[in-house]
């Protein structure tokens, strides 16, 4: 099964109030495994970038002005997406902007009922009462996000693809069964559970039993361990 995990960055929160999509990052999964195929693009929003949005993703008006508008790259994006289910965190937001941009160009919307997979809703169902941000889920599943300084569509999609698999009971990155993980020659990761140290047990035999055993041994004629044993 082919799925696309994606994330967007925008100028704000509401497409219908003039905000625009400025970055999209997509990661292809087949049978819940990353294939290495990605799609990543920046778009010129043809408007200024609000300071509060720039603080989140670090994309300035000057930087984005060097890139094409969404209309110039829409065909390539749609070709990559195909008819696959689209996975996103708080997916209604990302679908809203993606469909807003598509609708402005006369394209039909991507159906959220048949193609939208929302990892936020999955996380709320699987872990009620916990924090469900992407950062919190990465921490929960032991996914390294140390290189995430700003929000970035491709980086966040790559992190989310790992979170998505874990939410569905996948690789179990953070089981924590052992202090040390040993990689076998065949590839799988084998967890060695630390062994509990135990004091040696000392056994004593009563003197009477030792004497009885010695008498029994003397009564055996021609033992194989004695001097009469043949080689």
Q: Which residues does the annotation place in the binding site for a divalent metal cation?
A: 7, 9, 156
Q: 């925008």: which residue's tokens?
A: 10
Separation CA 121–CA 140 (nearest Å): 16
Residues 6+ apart with CB under 8 A from 136: 130
Rounded Cα distance between 39 and 154, Å, is 8
Query: Active site includes 151?
Result: yes
- 5 beta partners: 27, 87
Locate 122 and state its tokens: 């999955």
- What are the CA-CA distances from residue 27 to residues 30, 45, 67, 88 (Å)? 10, 23, 21, 11
99's CB contacts (< 8 A; 6+ apart) are: 109, 110, 112
Selecting among 40, 127, 151, 213, the annotated active-site residue is 151
Which residue ranges are tagged as binding site for substrate? Answer: 7, 9, 52, 57, 156
For the chain, the maximum distance between any two Cα atoms, rounded to a whole number of angstroms, is 107
- For residue 162, the tally of other CB atoms under 10 A from its CB is 22
User: Distance from first CA to last CA of the chain, Å, rounded?
Assistant: 70
Active site residues: 151
């Amino acid at each position: 099964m082919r799925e696309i995990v994606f994330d967007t960055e925008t100028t704000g929160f509401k497409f219908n109030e003039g905000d625009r999509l400025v970055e999209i990052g997509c990661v292809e999964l087949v049978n819940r495994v990353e294939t290495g195929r990605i799609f990543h693009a920046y778009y010129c929003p043809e408007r200024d970038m609000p300071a509060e949005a720039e603080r989140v993703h670090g994309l300035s008006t000057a930087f984005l002005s060097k890139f094409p508008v969404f209309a110039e790259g829409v065909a390539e994006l749609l070709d990559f997406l195909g008819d696959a289910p689209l996975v996103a965190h708080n997916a209604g937001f990302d679908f809203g902007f993606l469909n807003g941009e598509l609708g402005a160009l006369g394209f039909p919307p991507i159906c959220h009922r048949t193609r939208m997979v929302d990892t936020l809703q999955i996380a709320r169902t699987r872990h009620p009462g916990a924090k469900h941000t992407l950062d919190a889920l990465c921490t929960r599943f032991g996914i390294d996000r140390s290189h995430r300084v700003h929000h970035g569509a491709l980086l966040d999609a790559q992190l989310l693809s790992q979170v998505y698999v874990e939410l569905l009971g996948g690789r179990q990155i953070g089981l924590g069964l052992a202090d040390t993980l040993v990689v076998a020659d065949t590839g799988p990761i084998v967890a060695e559970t630390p062994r509990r140290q135990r004091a040696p047990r000392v056994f004593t035999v009563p003197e009477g039993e030792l004497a009885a055993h010695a008498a029994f041994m003397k009564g055996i004629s021609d033992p194989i361990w004695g001097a009469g044993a043949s080689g």
